[in-house]
């Protein structure tokens, strides 16, 4: 069963230098219970894609296309309808807990706020549900922690609070934006385990540039570059048999795979390269790549690639 169907999504926002085409015609389907990793480097548009789904973007942003959630286009909902959906059906675990948590509110109260809003519970009941949520994300001594402020918690603890908040109203679909950013190796693995268990029967879109994290949690990985998807396949295929030269280069640049960098830098999203957006950095670029923009094609069952080498 399809839970979320993103069709021709285009998200742009104006800047002094011109229109930033952060998400440029993205199509992505997420089934009920499916967990997808959205991989890409800084500035490729992956966070904007996540924010488009929960509609938490600046008013100046323009969104085109459709995002069907259980068949209903959430881009057509008014603010009030969206507010009822957000947090309850679709929730987002924002990146950087240090800046996403309110520094002057106790963490228990911050979690209780969402519960009170959506579940019509009294203050006291919401608070005890918040403590339960903290326990469920393995925060020891949850009763005491609930009365603490964000600055009293470590980075890993704060990430757990963010996850507890995202799960508080038992949503069907969760967007998690860089949940392991800035955590050391051991804490990172704990957060990965927690996310995997907590979302076992849910749909998840996890935004990350850490392939290991995506592999550990996700069934499928979609690769984003300069506002569009370049490859989409099962986690195993993406990691072991990547087809797009960008993805191959990405994997070769991992310290464990040889630390071989991709030459050049990520392109501008204001004026992306003509033809294939990766061609200026591609070791296998052909003459035609400068002119023709490749379409996404299914090269084998469930393995989609946007590259003229496969066309």
Partner 1 sequence: MRLIDVQDLKKHYSSGMINKQYTRAVDGVSFFIDKGETLGLVGESGCGKTTVGRLLLRLIEPTSGKIVFDGVDITGLGRKEMRKMRPRMQMIFQDPESSLNPKMRIGESIAEPFRLGLHGRMGKAEIKERVLELVDIVGLNPEHVNRFPYQLSGGQNQRVVLARILAINPEFIVADEPTASLDVSVQAQILRLIMDLKKDFGLTMLFISHDQEVVRHMSDRIAMMDRGKIKRIESAKRA
Task: Rank residues 15 and 76 by Cβ distance to partner 1 and give the closer one.
Answer: 15
For β-strands 203-208 and 173-177, DSSP reports them as: parallel
| Interaction mask 211-240, partner 1, x per CB under 8 A | x-----------------------------
- Candidate ranges 36-44, 54-62, 96-104, 126-134; the one touching partner 1 (CB under 8 A): 36-44
Task: Rank residues 41 and 219 by Cβ distance to partner 1 and give the closer one.
Answer: 41
In angstroms, the first-to-last Cα distance of the chain is 30
Pair 57, 12: CB distance under 8 Å: no
Alpha-carbon distance 142 to 150, whole Å? 14
Task: Rank residues 171 and 249 by Cβ distance to partner 1 and give the closer one.
Answer: 249
In whole angstroms, the minimum distance from the beta carbon of 256 to partner 1 comes to 5
**Distant-in-sequence, close-in-space partners of 224: CB < 8 Å, separation ≥ 6:** 26, 38, 39, 40, 44, 45, 46, 49, 230
Q: What residues from 239 to 298 belong to the interface with partner 1 (CB under 8 A)?
A: 249-250, 253-256, 259-262, 265-266
- Candidate ranges 37-45, 78-86, 107-115, 270-278; the one touching partner 1 (CB under 8 A): 37-45
Task: Rank residues 102 and 253 by Cβ distance to partner 1 and give the closer one.
Answer: 253
In whole angstroms, the minimum distance from the beta carbon of 7 to partner 1 comes to 29
- Candidate ranges 25-33, 38-46, 108-116, 271-279; the one touching partner 1 (CB under 8 A): 38-46
Q: What residues from 42 to 81 belong to the interface with partner 1 (CB under 8 A)?
A: 42-43
Alpha-carbon distance 252 to 248, whole Å? 6
| Interaction mask 147-176, partner 1, x per CB under 8 A | --------x---------------------
State the DSSP H helix or E strand holding residue 131, giving kind and residue range, or none if neither: helix 123-136
Pair 49, 61: CB distance under 8 Å: no
Task: Rank residues 119 and 266 by Cβ distance to partner 1 and give the closer one.
Answer: 266
For 204-237, the DSSP string reads EEEEES-HHHHHHH-SEEEEEETTEEEEEEEHHH
Task: Rank residues 14 and 264 by Cβ distance to partner 1 and give the closer one.
Answer: 264
Alpha-carbon distance 224 to 228, whole Å? 5
For β-strands 203-208 and 72-73, DSSP reports them as: unpaired
Alpha-carbon distance 172 to 210, whole Å? 24
C-alpha closest to that of 299 among 225, 247, 263, 227: 247
Task: Rank residues 81 and 184 by Cβ distance to partner 1 and give the closer one.
Answer: 184
Alpha-carbon distance 221 to 298, whole Å? 15
Residue 15 as a binder of partner 1 (CB under 8 A): the answer is: no
Task: Rank residues 138 and 268 by Cβ distance to partner 1 and give the closer one.
Answer: 268
Alpha-carbon distance 10 to 21, whole Å? 7
In whole angstroms, the minimum distance from the beta carbon of 143 to partner 1 comes to 24
For β-strands 203-208 and 35-39, DSSP reports them as: parallel
# residues contacting partner 1 (CB under 8 A):
23
Q: Which of 41, 113, 125, 215 binds partner 1 (CB under 8 A)?
A: 41
Coil, strand or helix at 73: strand
Q: What residues from 181 to 200 belong to the interface with partner 1 (CB under 8 A)?
A: 183-187
Give the footprint of partner 1 on this chain (CB under 8 A).
41-43, 155, 183-187, 209, 211, 249-250, 253-256, 259-262, 265-266
């Amino acid at each position: 069963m399809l839970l979320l169907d993103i069709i021709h999504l285009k998200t742009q926002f104006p800047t002094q230098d011109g229109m930033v085409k952060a998400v440029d015609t993205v199509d992505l389907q997420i089934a009920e219970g499916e967990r997808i990793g959205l991989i890409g480097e800084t500035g490729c548009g992956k966070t904007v894609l996540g924010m488009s789904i929960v509609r938490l973007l600046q008013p100046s942003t323009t969104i085109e296309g459709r995002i069907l959630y259980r068949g209903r286009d959430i881009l057509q909902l008014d603010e009030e309808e969206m507010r009822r959906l957000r947090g309850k059906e679709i929730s987002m675990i924002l990146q950087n807990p240090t800046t996403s948590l309110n520094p002057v509110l106790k963490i228990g109260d911050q979690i209780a706020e969402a519960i009170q809003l959506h579940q019509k519970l009294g203050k006291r009941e919401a608070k005890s549900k918040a403590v339960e949520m903290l326990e469920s994300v393995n925060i020891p001594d949850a009763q005491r922690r609930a009365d603490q402020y964000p600055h009293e918690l470590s980075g890993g603890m704060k990430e757990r609070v963010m996850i507890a908040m995202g799960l508080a109203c038992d949503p069907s679909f969760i967007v998690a934006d860089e949940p392991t950013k800035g955590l050391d190796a051991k804490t990172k693995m704990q957060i990965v385990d927690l996310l995997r268990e907590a979302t076992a029967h849910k749909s998840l879109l996890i935004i990350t540039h850490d392939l290991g994290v995506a592999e550990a949690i996700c069934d499928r990985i979609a690769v984003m570059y300069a506002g569009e998807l370049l490859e989409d396949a099962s986690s195993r295929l993406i990691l072991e048999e990547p087809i797009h030269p960008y993805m191959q280069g990405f994997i070769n640049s991992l310290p464990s795979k040889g630390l071989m960098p991709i030459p050049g830098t990520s392109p501008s999203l204001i004026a992306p390269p003509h033809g294939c957006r990766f061609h200026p950095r591609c070791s296998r670029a052909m003459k035609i790549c400068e002119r023709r923009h490749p379409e996404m094609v299914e090269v084998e069952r469930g393995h989609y690639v946007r590259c003229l080498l496969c066309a």
